[in-house]
A and B are shown apart, each in its own frame.
Chain A
Amino acid sequence: MIVRSLNGLGDLLMYLGTVLRSALGSWRRREEIFDKSLLVIQQSLATTVFAGFFVGAIMTLQFTLQVQMFSALSYLGALVTSATVREVGPLLIAFLLSGKIGAFTSAELGTMKVSEQIDAIRCLGSDPIREVIVPRFLGIIIASFFLLSFGLLFSFFGGLLMATTFSGLPWEQYLSQIPRVVSGFSILSGVVKCFVFSLVIATICTYRGYTVFGGAKEVGDGVVQAATQTMIALVVADWFTTFILEGLINV
């Protein structure tokens, strides 16, 4: 089990290396990459905005109960924004994107694999990694990064709206304490996580689709594996990124 998992991880890293090498020369395919990014954004923007908004709103609800116990309601905005930007927002929105973008991509690539389109590309003189994987891989990274950032922005608005309507905190007070807690480093931390999570989603979902072997059942298995492995990898990546970033701030 452990050996098989390590073998799988090794294969995944080798795949990532191959994709990154191929991606280096992908500037001439920028229009296709832009199109893929745009497609992913169009497919997921509404869901991400919706989810982001409610993440902020839920966080406000939860923190309201806590800070009221200590008569520290004026810190609500700072706490909600800090927790959302640094931790909860990127992770929850990445989960959502892994289900939406990741499942779509792994199913699409898996179907191309079992219907012999990938083999046909090789036989017709091209490299499927360069032709098929790289545009999707970079498209997902660019789009996920944009969507995660956009989701975080809306989580801020969700938190603000909930604070003014439910918690009874004027918006000026909600905003006033944010600069004290949410530093440039907090925002950088959120941005770095958005990038890392985008990379995780793009890598696992394209890999799972590309390595499907068999028929329709195996495509289904590949999609399920992509979804579950991406979520586990996101949690691990979150812990690892936090560990590194907190380490940096303490240096």
Chain B
Amino acid sequence: MLGIDQKNILKRIRGRVLLNNVLKGLFFASTTIGLIFLALLLYRILTQGIGYLNSGFITSFPAPYPEEAGIFAGLIGSLLMIAIVAPVAIILGVGTAIFLEEYAYKNRWTKFIQINIQNLAGVPSIVYGLLGLTFFVYMLRLGYTLLAGGLTMSLLVLPVIVVAAQEAIRSVPSDIKEASYGMGASKWQTIRRVILPAALPGILTGTILALSRAIGETAPLIIVGAATALYTLPDSLLSKYTVMPIQIFNWTGRPQEEWQFVAAAGILVLLIVLLFMNAIAVFIRNKFQKRY
């Protein structure tokens, strides 16, 4: 029998328990700090904006008086833009991810593409605005329209979706892929019936992040010509449009104090739309989630 030195073990355990507690405290503090700032932000926005947030605010067009100003044009514009960004960015993004993960040969070339996509996710958004201006507005002659704005935003969020979808596809266990091949399924059948369903939750998480970014961006849309004041709703893909962040940005810059409250009300509407979008995505994700 080996002699167990109780004393020594106790001494060592004390150190480990201490370290454990210190780390626990550290992680708890990180979470709390984030939450405190979030709560402060929400509190400030709520107390400032709630007074101006009413049905009139949601259904009115911009006006020169703070009490009459509304976000209707921006709200509809933002929703229509998401209706363009979501299909374009998801189809292109997930398609790219499937190709890179499942079809492309793993060589230096794909690695090079890979790194570039990851870098694109960090390019300042204004650069995408300039790209959209030269390519969609001028070269494709789309003009300063909803379609040009939506396509520009699709490009902006594409890298985020590609990277997230790749990560999700890669994390599908190879046993089930091989099982599918073993049963005689073709590559496409495997992708459609095995890989995509398994990767769906991860892809959706990336999509939520991407669309949240698209709905909150201002700078690139100013470049591609989103209006600040508009009294009609877009009636086609080639109409003029405005979006919520541009209206909010305009209100925050005004000298009169009441406009700050109008801006806060606008931020509240934006947050509500964002929450609603995320709720839909979480619902879909939970419904189709399957863990391996």
Q: Does B bind A?
A: no
Binding site for A on B (CB under 8 A): none
